[in-house]
Amino acid sequence: MRAEGRSGLLMGAPYALFLLAFAAYPVFFALALVFMRWDLVTEPSFAGADNIRLLAVDARFWRAVANTFVFLAIHLPLQIATALTLALALNRPLVFRAFWRAAFFLPVVISGAVVAILWNALYATDVGLINTVLAKVGVSPIPWLTDPSLAMPAIAVMVTWKNVGFYVVIYLAGLQYIPRSCQEAIELDGATAWQRFRHLTLPLLLPQTILVVTLSTINGFQLFIEPYVMTGGGPLRRTFSVVLYMYTNAFSYQKMGYAATIGVALALIIGAVVAIQRRIIGTAEAT
Amino acid sequence: MRPLSRVGLYLALTVAAVTFIYPFLWMASSTLKPPLEFGSLALIPDRITLDNYRIMWSRAPFGRALLNSVFVAGTITASVLVLGSITAYAMARLTFPGRRALNAATVAVLLVPGQLTLIPLYTLIVQLGWVDTYAALIVPYLFNATAILMLRQFFLQIPQSLIDSARMDGMSELRILFTIFWPLARPPLAIVAIFTFMGSWNEVLWPLLVVRDEQTMTLPQLLTVFALGGGAGTLGVSLAAAMVLVVPVVIAYMFLQRYFIESMAGAGVKG
């Protein structure tokens, strides 16, 4: 037994050291940075609550938070609706089921940077694929990414397209647990397809829906590469995201204390939003 | 199902599949078109040109970036598999002081959002003097909590009798892990390998923070910098650069799509 303990310590030690350096230390140092002013060149100095005070009234930060809510308001319903529809279609007896699933999943394996550059080309006002298709049916070019009210919805649609395959797989897994006998019994009772969906399938898929909502919300708050590549946060800051602002503060302004404060605030906001969402979905289910 | 609704179903699936696949085909074909033809919907260009690729290749070190990406993602994947297995083996099968704390810490790590630790990790890299080095890209990813928990879960199911008899034969713990556990653990190892490699291959935010020198950039970063910095000039050249990143992934995906889906969806849910 003593030999086993020694082996265990030796084999667990590298990971323990790694956790201390790259997980525990950054969490504590993030909290310390909130109270510091540091440009990475001169010595860090104590800033008291300056960063927190600044954040509370920083219009650019709150603009980015508001933008994220605009994004989520479009992205969440769209993501759930498309993922659920595709999953229900795939759950029927199908020829080439693996092919269909693989087609929907393809954008998930592609780098976000590539998807952003590709959709830049799809959304391009003059030569973009989408406007070219629309021109065929007589629609004049739409400035997808340069119109302040269209840019964020356009990005929300793109992110939905990129991630939907992932959520289809989650819903498919859930659908497999709905017993056929349940379906047949309710069918015998004369329920229509819609009634079956509304009162049987949808409630039974609640755990999957909660997962989809949680993961897409977290993902939405991490929005970075899309605005970075496609709009630079514009037009009129309407696609400016929280992570983009954090990155700008750290990388361009060298304000480590303030950037870390944004990070801590973002983590708290994500936690609060996810908790509230779960509450709402939970009560909606109970009624 | 009635024949009519069956036709409708396949029609809808085809439209959906085209929505997901056509943009990539259009992208591939656009890179072969001369600038004047760029906007056209046709997948086969009237005149095929490799100019976009020539321009892209000569303006930024994409060959070097490809090698960097392979090296960084390969090293991280190897480490997550080897070091991760060693850790998971100890956590699953050996009794030692601190084991429970290690388990709890691993679960806790999964709950900490990445945005919280991004800036302090960046300042740590700067203080270590690792800016513009491979170490900055690799070391923070040497272990992966999701991978360790997955492997640990699998290792817990292997019968103790196998370990006991191997120990009787005088095998060391490491030899038991790599000669007895690893051959049994091929499915979870493949899942870990795919999501680790893909995560690193596609990562762009972290490299954008810690690397400024073109020679150390991985593909997604160089691509982003190239497309944004105006080095590309036209969309065709940008898309040609993106192809370098996409083509290897799509080829691997065509052959291993089942494993990709299982791996990336599974890791996303657990991680």
Point out the residues of chain B with pLDDT beneath 70.
Answer: 1-2, 231-232, 268-271
Mutation target vs A (from B6, B43, B87, B119; most A CBs, 10 A cutoff): B119
- Rounded Cα distance between B154 and B191, Å, is 12
Binding-face residues of B in 123-182 toward A, CB within 8 A = 123-124, 126, 139-140, 142-143, 148, 172-174
**C-alpha radius of gyration, chain A, whole number:** 24
CB B27 within 8 A of CB B242: yes
Residue B176: closest CA among B263, B85, B64: B85
**B218 touches A: beta carbon within 8 Å:** no
Looking at domain A41-286, its CATH superfamily turns out to be MetI-like (1.10.3720.10)
- Phi, psi dihedral angles at B161 (to 5 degrees): -60, -35
Give the per-residue pLDDT at A263: 97
Residue entry with tokens 């086969």: B44
Mutation target vs B (from A106, A171, A221; most B CBs, 10 A cutoff): A106
Exposure string for A106-140, b = 16+ CB within 10 A, e = fewer: bbbbbbbbbbbbbbbbbbbeebbbbbbeeeeeeee
Q: What is the CATH number of domain B52-270?
A: 1.10.3720.10
State the ipTM, two decimals. 0.92
Q: Is A179 left (phi over 0), alpha (psi -120 to 50) or beta?
A: beta
Give the per-residue pLDDT at B1: 57
Q: Give domain limits for chain B.
A: 3-49, 52-270
pTM for the predicted model, two decimal places = 0.93
Which residues of chain A make contact with B260, given a CB cutoff of 8 A? 105, 109
The token pair at B52 is: 């976009």
- Rounded Cα distance between A228 and A139, Å, is 29
Give the per-residue pLDDT at B139: 98
Q: Going from the first residue of chain A to its last (287 residues), give the mean pLDDT of each consecutive group of 10, the final group possibly shorter.
A: 85 96 96 95 92 96 97 97 94 88 94 94 89 90 94 97 95 85 73 84 90 94 94 91 96 95 96 92 72
Q: Cβ–Cβ of B17/A110 closer than 8 Å?
A: no
Give the per-residue pLDDT at B269: 64
